[in-house]
Each structure stands twice: as structure tokens, then as C-alpha cells.
Chain A
């Protein structure tokens, strides 16, 4: 289940809680096992599954609340925007696109979504991700709950994102929409490949800045890595990653990346960080910064779903193509 790439390098630190936790985490990858059960518990799904697009079907389409942004953006892309998401303002700042309709309610925190509000909305289904497990006894009092997972220790987020889209489309009684979304993703990758075909192949280094001295850098097991691979590019980060596909490092750690990398910074960058990078001598001397080439800044959410993968592919290829090589 867990590949050697992820644990092998650290096997010697026997007592480290991190390693132990990860080892245990490998045992629990049964993320999607419960899906079938919950879907069956949904009233009226079986009858509507075939009538994609009909008015009668629209009336009986289940109203879905999402407790997670990746699931929410997937629902929007499938044409069934959620009736409620947590932290709607945060969604508009971090996920940006696809936008939520004004009718979608704001549930507050992802860790304690407002339950009275959720109950008042009376959704037919609530979708959540595994680490929200402790919420389920509460949320299930409102509506049946479906737990879907994109990020697992086996590090195949793109495949899972497609699978999640399929499950969500089935739950939303729009099965054809998932096929269309996956096809849209493939088309987006093909277009992106064509857009950058004439450019020299430089590895891509995807980084989000945590504070003036630390960063998350995305490697094997991240959705970004999966997209980069599909664009025919190489990932410049070879460090070992956690089950979400990133390594947390001090900025000095970035020196381990491929020196000819093209740097991609995920937005938003924390308030005071950008200014301080300009005067950070180590940052200024990193091989991929020193040349004076401006970083590509992309507003794409980390831990996103299929729409985020499409968005990353579109934006990255466009920016690579416009930048002087």
C-alpha cells in the first residue's frame, strides 16, 4: 500500500511518532468502503439516475451540502452546486474558481460546521472527507452522510479525484456529468501540452509559502505532481512527502530541488512574506531565483479536487507559454 519511496528513507528513526503514525495510516486506506452503503441509504436516487437534464428530474435531484472545499468545487463543476459549504469567504479567496452561487449558505468552520443552519437547510445528503470523521455522529442527525477521500497514503490523488467526481455525480443524480468532467480534464491536459510543446522542458517546482522562513513544497503524491506529469513535465522536488503530497521545509531546504527549476508560487501568499523574501539573501541566492526570473504565481487551492487540477493545468501552461523562455 505504502510505496518504498515514502517510508524507506525514514525507516531508521524507529521511535518517531511521524513514522509510526504514517505506518498506521497505511492500514486505514479503506476510505471509500462506506460509500456504497450511504448512497444506498439515499431516498429516490435509483429512479432519477437515468434522466439526465429533464425538468422532472431536476425537481427530485438531491440537495447536497459539502463540508469540504474539494468536494464542493467538484459539485459546482458537475453542475450541482452544494447548498452549503464551510467558510464561503475562504473558498472565494483560495479556491476562486469555479465560483459558488450566491444561494450557497456559509456553514462557518470546517471543524464545527454550524449544525442548526445545516438542519434548517435540510439537505438530502452531506458529503465530507475522512478527517471530519468525528463530526459524523452530529451531522448524520441532519442527513445521510457520504465520506469521500482524495488524499490517501497511496498517493494517487488524481485517480481518486476522478473517482470522487463519479461518486458525487451519482449522488447528485447526474452520472453523465462526471464522464464529461473527466473528459474536460483530459482535454485541458492535451491543450496544455500543445500550448507548451515548443518550450524547453524545465522541471517545475510548486511551492506555497507558510511564513517568511518556511514553505510547503509539493512532490510525489500531490495533485500538482500528477498534473505536471500529465503535461509531460518533470517535478523539481524529489524529497520525501507526507500523505498529502507535500514536504514542510525551511526555505533553505528548497536548495535540494533541481537547480534549473521553474518556480511556481501558490497564492495567496501570507501578508508579510512577499516583502521579506526580497531581502532574504538565501532566497535570493537559490539557483532558481538567482537568475532573476520572476516566479509564476498561481491562485490554486492545495488539497483541491478535479476542477483544481484542470485550473492548475490551464493557468500553469498559459503562464509558461507567455513567459519568455
Chain B
């Protein structure tokens, strides 16, 4: 909040603008020099190439139709994203808001992927509309999810990153089911700035100009809004209209960029942050400086990318590279910002406690049993659906029971982790996918594929386990020092996940089939689980889940916040550390089976509370059973619905559970 206050000194704002423009010029000059543009064409031919290239000279063609439009595209896209980020941060009073962290880019990307696969053929201007719809829907869901937290910055951010993860995993399913077009989807998704004409520039420039005018008109209303909602209303400002206009402008800007060049991650987050660091305090100066910095940032990144990938070497999507520096930048921003610890917000979930909670738990157990029976007995083969009994069952069971049991155990563990985490952080949007352990597992797998010549049998599993362990140690080390409030650590975890994703995206765009195998494996699947692995997973689940009830008192009190909990005699520091370790262990064991993303850990606690299971013990029992049932159902559906193809259980759970969760949260009275 404080960082966004109006500056009383307009001269400083002016200075910031000048600094921003200087940075832009500096970046561009440095880049031009280092890229050695003169090697492409003698200096005296440049003007001719720029204005009227000689068709017979390939060098002039390249300068006119590739190098220059690419440079212009980088400037425009960077500026658009910087402006979108600054607008979002301003209107949401949230220094961590951006098209990336609010899921807008991911939503647009998913919508475009669906449209491309559904209606192949040139989408033309339809592309922009589709992207706008996708990005707008994503932002709407984010705001809806975080409304109950009063749009608290960290809560908005968690919801945004969550929606981003969700859209990403839905896109992953599409990709897995369209292996042959995988590379196309990834090159575009990675955000390559390669240009062969001025079309993108011609489309983007007028839109950016329009947005600039609109933003200029919004400067004063936004400045008033910065005084606080009540004050702004008192001054006669139509607060809701201003907010809506601002959000719409930001979404339109970022989704236009996505539809034209793909996802350029994190520029919209980093550019306004840098502008702020350079001293842009007032609304006007921020809205001016952020686009300038964004343009400089993207130009510089793209020039470096062109250098690294060699003049005509492999394809390195610029958007994936911006994620490589943007994700760590998010961690730094999160650690630096002096946001106050999460305020006390009472029990997560406001449903009335059920009179007979254990009867409801028994009901859920019955559902789990039914789902288990389905998963074990019903399958498909080349002829069609088949209920296996007797001999058929004896043949099918050795393949079905290990993955079913593993899914069950993983679902139970993720649900338990979700309960502990949500109570620990007092944030109902906390999910075990965010602890960083999942990202560690994914990172370990990426490293194995990256650095080992041949990916042997157990290597992916071992590497994922090592990665998860490393992340776990890191989490414990950081949490042990007690510096970072738990929900801030979640953000760091997600940022690490984005980093792992970026590495995969870079590899994928290069087109190495090994990278596609990596992609398939990193989505996680019960496919590999055999009997011993299933039994080990089940054993881990029993031990770890059984540990959670012993912390029942802590879990009941910690959501009240640090100080009240201390007053009630809870050793807050050690309790948080222990619970975090438990969460990390639960998540690690589950991630190895169902992959880095499932949302069962987020979903199951909400469903349990929706059923009126509110006290820790009943909530835990209900959520664990629901988590197990959802995961078993997801695993079963994943191998039935698109037979003979398969959707990994974690992704299937995400697809099933995401809309369900949103519906649940939207319906509940505030």
C-alpha cells in the first residue's frame, strides 16, 4: 500500500520518466552494439533497407522484414505489458499484480489453444477476441476467488498464480492429446518474437496508442483512488467504473500481446517494479515509466536471445527466457516487500458446522468405496466398455490395483497437506502445489533429462525425489529462520515452479523429442506405479496422514494469526515449522505419483467444509476421504475417457475439480 501512495513531488516523477527513457535507450544501444547489427548489412545500406529494400539483396530483405519489425515488436510488446502491469498494480493496490501473476496470460493462451485445435484455420481478428475472452475470464475468476479475502494483495496473487497453473495444466492436456502439433503449440506458447513482416507492428501500434490515451485519461481518477476508496467516493469519483475501465484496459493490452506473439511472461511484473525502484512514485510517472522500462527490458532480452541462439541457430522463445529471470524476480519482490503479516481472518470457510459430522464422513467413505469398485472393475478395450469379473478381472487387476491404490494414497496425502497448509497460513487458497516441493520434483526431473545422455528406468523417479528433497530442505531452512510468513513462502514455491516450466518450454521449442518425453513425464502419472511403489506410497500415506490429527489443537488455533495463537499458548514458531515439514513430506510423497499439479489439496478441504465438516478432526477425515475419492476417480476417468490415450491423474483431477471449486466458492455467501 505505502509504495503506491501519491508522491507530492512531481519533479521526482519527471526524473523517473527521464530515467526510464534513458534506460530504454541504453538497453537498445547496448543491445544493438552487442548484437553486431552491422554484420548483417553495411552501415550505408541501412537506411535504404529500412525504407525501400532491394528485393534482390537477401541482407536488405532480412533487415527490412525480420530484424527491424522484430525490434519494433519487442518495443511495443514490452511497453504494452509494462503499461498493463502498472495499471493492474495501481488499480488493485497490489505491487505484485501483473498479467502473468494474475493468470491473464495463461487464460488467454489456453483459450487460443482450444480455439486453434477446435477450429483449425486462420482465426484472423477472431484471435484477439478469443484471447480477450480467455484472459478476461481468468481475471474474473481470480477476483472472484480472492473477493472473500477482501482482495488482499497476497490472496489475489495466490488465486492468480493458481488460475495460471490451472490454465497451464489444461493446456498441457490438450498438448498431450495432440502430440503431432505439440511443437507448434509450444513455440507459440513460449513467446517467440520472430517476425517476417510488419503486420504485428501494424496491429499493435494503434492499439498501444489508444491504450496510452486511455491510460492518460485514467491518471487523475487513479490518483484519487489512491487516496482510498471512501475519499475517492466522497470526491464524486465513480469508483467501480474507474476500476472496471482500468482492469479492462490492462486485460485488453496483455491479451492482445498474447494473441500476436504468445506469452511473454513476467515483463508486466518486473517493469513496473523497476520503474518504482527508479523513483517513479506518482500514478502518472509510473504509467509512463513502466512501459518505457518494459520496452527496454524486452528489447534487451530479445537481443540477448538472438545472440545466444546464434544468428540462425536453435529457436529460443523470448517469452520463456523472460520467465527465467522473471520468476526469481518475483521471489525477490515477495521477500523485499514489507507487506504486513496476514491479518486474523477466523476459520477458513464459513459454513455452519454439521450436527452429525461423522455421519457425513461415513457417507463420503461409501462414495469412495463405490469409486474404488468402478476403478477396479470397469475398463475399456479395443471392443468397447467392459466390466471385468472372474478371469477378466484376474488379468486386469495386476495393472489396475497399483495405480488405483497409489492414486488413493496420493489424494489422501494432498488433502491432508491442503488442510494443514490452509490452517497454517490462514489462507483458504493455499495449496500444497505451492510449497515448492512440487517444483523441486519437476526441477529434478528436468535436470535429469537435461544432463543425462540416456534417461534410464528409475532416473526420472530418483531425480524427482532428489529435487523434492532439496526443495524440502530449502523450505525447512527458510521456515526455520522464521523470517518469511508461510503464505509468502507459497509464492516463492510457485515462482520456482514457473522457472521449471520455463526450462521445459525452452527445450520443447527446440523440438527435441526427448523434451516431449520429459514434458509427458513431468505432468505426472500413475502409469509407472507397480505393486511395490503402490505399497510404499500407501504406507507413507498412512503414517503421514495419521500424524496430522496429533496437531489438532494447533490446527484449530493457528488460523487466528500469530499473536492470538501465542496468547493461547501455542509455540507458534516450532508449530509452524513442524506443520510445514509435515506438509512438505506429504506433498513430496504424493507428487512423485501424480505429478506437480492436481489441486486436490486445495479442493478437498473446501468440499469438506462445504459439507459442514468444520472442526479440525472431522474436516481432516472428510477432506482426506474426498481427496482419495477424487484422485481415484480422476485416475479412472483419465484412462477411460480418451482411451486408448490417457490423461495423467493429476491433470484429470485438475480438470474435474477446477470448475467445481470455482462454483463452490462463488456460491458460498460472503
- By a beta-carbon cutoff of 8 Å, the part of chain A in contact with chain B is 9-10, 13, 16-18, 20-21, 24-30, 87, 90, 93-94, 105-117, 119-120, 130-134, 136-138, 141, 210-211, 213-214, 216, 239-240, 242-244, 246-253, 255-256, 259, 270-272, 275-276, 279-283, 285-287, 290, 303
Contact in complex: A108, B512 (CB < 8 Å): no
State whether the Cβ of B206 lies closer than 8 Å to any Cβ in chain A.
Answer: no
Interface centre among B450, B454, B513, B644 (most CB of A within 10 A): B644
Contact in complex: A116, B399 (CB < 8 Å): yes
State the 10 A-B residue pairs at the shortest beta-carbon distance, nearest first: A28-B453, A250-B194, A271-B120, A108-B644, A111-B520, A282-B196, A252-B66, A253-B312, A282-B65, A108-B645
State whether the Cβ of B123 lies closer than 8 Å to any Cβ in chain A.
Answer: yes
Interchain Cβ contacts under 8 Å between A and B, 20 examples: A20-B450, A26-B453, A108-B644, A111-B517, A114-B646, A116-B379, A132-B517, A133-B454, A133-B457, A137-B457, A210-B187, A214-B194, A214-B315, A250-B196, A252-B65, A272-B121, A282-B61, A282-B62, A287-B58, A303-B513
- Chain A proximity mask over B398-414: 1 for CB below 8 Å, otherwise 0: 01100000000000000
Known contacts A24-B453, A108-B643: does B520 contact A252 (CB below 8 Å)? Answer: no
For B645, the chain A residues whose CB sits under 8 A away are 108-109, 112, 114
Contact in complex: A134, B455 (CB < 8 Å): yes
- A276 to B124: give the CA distance in the assembly, Å: 10
For B123, the chain A residues whose CB sits under 8 A away are 272
Known contacts A13-B308, A17-B450, A134-B460: does B528 contact A281 (CB below 8 Å)? Answer: no
State whether the Cβ of B521 lies closer than 8 Å to any Cβ in chain A.
Answer: yes
B398 nearest CB across to chain A (Å): 8
Q: Across the interface, name the chain A residue whose C-beta is closest to B400.
A: A116
For B451, the chain A residues whose CB sits under 8 A away are 20-21, 24
For B453, the chain A residues whose CB sits under 8 A away are 24-29
Contact in complex: B456, A290 (CB < 8 Å): no
- A290 to B187: give the CA distance in the assembly, Å: 27
For B347, the chain A residues whose CB sits under 8 A away are none
Contact in complex: B646, A252 (CB < 8 Å): no
Q: Name B510's contact: one of A18, A20, A112 (CB within 8 Å).
A: A18
Contact in complex: A282, B644 (CB < 8 Å): no
Contact in complex: A138, B314 (CB < 8 Å): no
- A107 to B184: give the CA distance in the assembly, Å: 24
For A248, the chain B residues whose CB sits under 8 A away are 187, 314-315, 509-511
Given contacts A87-B179, A108-B642, A116-B381, 18 further A-B contacts (CB under 8 A): A20-B451, A28-B454, A30-B454, A111-B176, A111-B521, A112-B525, A133-B457, A138-B530, A211-B188, A213-B192, A213-B194, A242-B511, A242-B512, A251-B194, A252-B66, A255-B61, A272-B120, A275-B122
For B201, the chain A residues whose CB sits under 8 A away are none
Within 8 A of A (CB), among B141-198: 176, 179-181, 183-184, 187-188, 192, 194-197
Within 8 A of A (CB), among B438-482: 450-460
For A28, the chain B residues whose CB sits under 8 A away are 452-454
Q: Across the interface, name the chain B residue whose C-beta is closest to A283.
A: B196
Contact in complex: B196, A280 (CB < 8 Å): yes
B393 nearest CB across to chain A (Å): 12
For B642, the chain A residues whose CB sits under 8 A away are 108
A223 nearest CB across to chain B (Å): 14
Q: Name B187's contact: one of A107, A211, A286 (CB within 8 Å).
A: A211
Q: Name B455's contact: one of A10, A113, A131, A138 (CB within 8 Å).
A: A131
- By a beta-carbon cutoff of 8 Å, the part of chain B in contact with chain A is 55, 58, 61-62, 65-66, 116, 120-123, 176, 179-181, 183-184, 187-188, 192, 194-197, 308, 310-315, 379, 381-382, 395-396, 399-400, 450-460, 503, 506, 509-514, 516-517, 520-521, 525, 527-528, 530, 639, 642-646, 648
Q: Across the interface, name the chain B residue whose C-beta is closest to A151.
A: B513
For B195, the chain A residues whose CB sits under 8 A away are 213, 250, 252
For A30, the chain B residues whose CB sits under 8 A away are 454
Known contacts A108-B643, A109-B520, A271-B120: does B314 contact A216 (CB below 8 Å)? Answer: no
For B311, the chain A residues whose CB sits under 8 A away are 253, 256
Q: Across the interface, name the chain B residue whose C-beta is closest to A301.
A: B180
Contact in complex: B517, A250 (CB < 8 Å): no
Known contacts A116-B379, A138-B527, A272-B122: does B513 contact A109 (CB below 8 Å)? Answer: no
Contact in complex: A117, B181 (CB < 8 Å): no
- A283 to B315: give the CA distance in the assembly, Å: 18
Contact in complex: B527, A246 (CB < 8 Å): no
Contact in complex: A214, B192 (CB < 8 Å): yes
For A131, the chain B residues whose CB sits under 8 A away are 455, 513-514, 517
Q: Name A106's contact: one of B180, B455, B644 (CB within 8 Å).
A: B644
For A109, the chain B residues whose CB sits under 8 A away are 176, 179, 520, 645-646
Contact in complex: A94, B180 (CB < 8 Å): yes
B13 nearest CB across to chain A (Å): 39
Interface centre among A26, A133, A285 (most CB of B within 10 A): A285
- A30 to B195: give the CA distance in the assembly, Å: 41
For B452, the chain A residues whose CB sits under 8 A away are 24, 28
- A110 to B454: give the CA distance in the assembly, Å: 17
B565 nearest CB across to chain A (Å): 45
Contact in complex: A270, B517 (CB < 8 Å): no
Q: Across the interface, name the chain A residue whose C-beta is closest to B515.
A: A131
Interface centre among A111, A119, A281 (most CB of B within 10 A): A111
Contact in complex: A115, B458 (CB < 8 Å): no
A155 nearest CB across to chain B (Å): 15
Contact in complex: A255, B58 (CB < 8 Å): yes
Q: Name B396's contact: one of A116, A141, A303 (CB within 8 Å).
A: A116
A245 nearest CB across to chain B (Å): 11
A285 nearest CB across to chain B (Å): 5
Interface centre among B55, B122, B450, B525 (most CB of A within 10 A): B122
Q: Across the interface, name the chain A residue whose C-beta is closest to B509.
A: A248
For B514, the chain A residues whose CB sits under 8 A away are 131
For A242, the chain B residues whose CB sits under 8 A away are 314, 510-512
Contact in complex: A285, B396 (CB < 8 Å): no
Contact in complex: B197, A282 (CB < 8 Å): yes
B447 nearest CB across to chain A (Å): 10
Q: Across the interface, name the chain B residue whose C-beta is closest to A141.
A: B530
For B122, the chain A residues whose CB sits under 8 A away are 272, 275-276
- A17 to B65: give the CA distance in the assembly, Å: 30
Interface centre among A10, A120, A211, A251 (most CB of B within 10 A): A211
Contact in complex: A111, B528 (CB < 8 Å): no
For B188, the chain A residues whose CB sits under 8 A away are 211
A60 nearest CB across to chain B (Å): 24
Known contacts A248-B509, A248-B511: does B395 contact A117 (CB below 8 Å)? Answer: no
Q: Across the interface, name the chain A residue whose C-beta is closest to B312.
A: A253
Contact in complex: B181, A250 (CB < 8 Å): no
Known contacts A252-B194, A282-B66: does B644 contact A117 (CB below 8 Å)? Answer: yes
A255 nearest CB across to chain B (Å): 5
Q: Across the interface, name the chain B residue whose C-beta is closest to A217.
A: B312
Q: Across the interface, name the chain A residue whose C-beta is closest to B517.
A: A131
Interface centre among A244, A282, A286 (most CB of B within 10 A): A282
B502 nearest CB across to chain A (Å): 12
Contact in complex: B459, A134 (CB < 8 Å): yes
B169 nearest CB across to chain A (Å): 16
Interface centre among A21, A120, A130 (most CB of B within 10 A): A21
B521 nearest CB across to chain A (Å): 6
Contact in complex: A120, B184 (CB < 8 Å): no
- A251 to B69: give the CA distance in the assembly, Å: 14
- A106 to B123: give the CA distance in the assembly, Å: 32
Q: Name A249's contact: one of B312, B381, B399, B646 (CB within 8 Å).
A: B312
For B55, the chain A residues whose CB sits under 8 A away are 285, 290
- A27 to B453: give the CA distance in the assembly, Å: 7
For B520, the chain A residues whose CB sits under 8 A away are 109, 111-112
A263 nearest CB across to chain B (Å): 15
For A243, the chain B residues whose CB sits under 8 A away are 512
Contact in complex: B315, A10 (CB < 8 Å): no
Contact in complex: A137, B183 (CB < 8 Å): no
B41 nearest CB across to chain A (Å): 12
For B382, the chain A residues whose CB sits under 8 A away are 105-106, 117
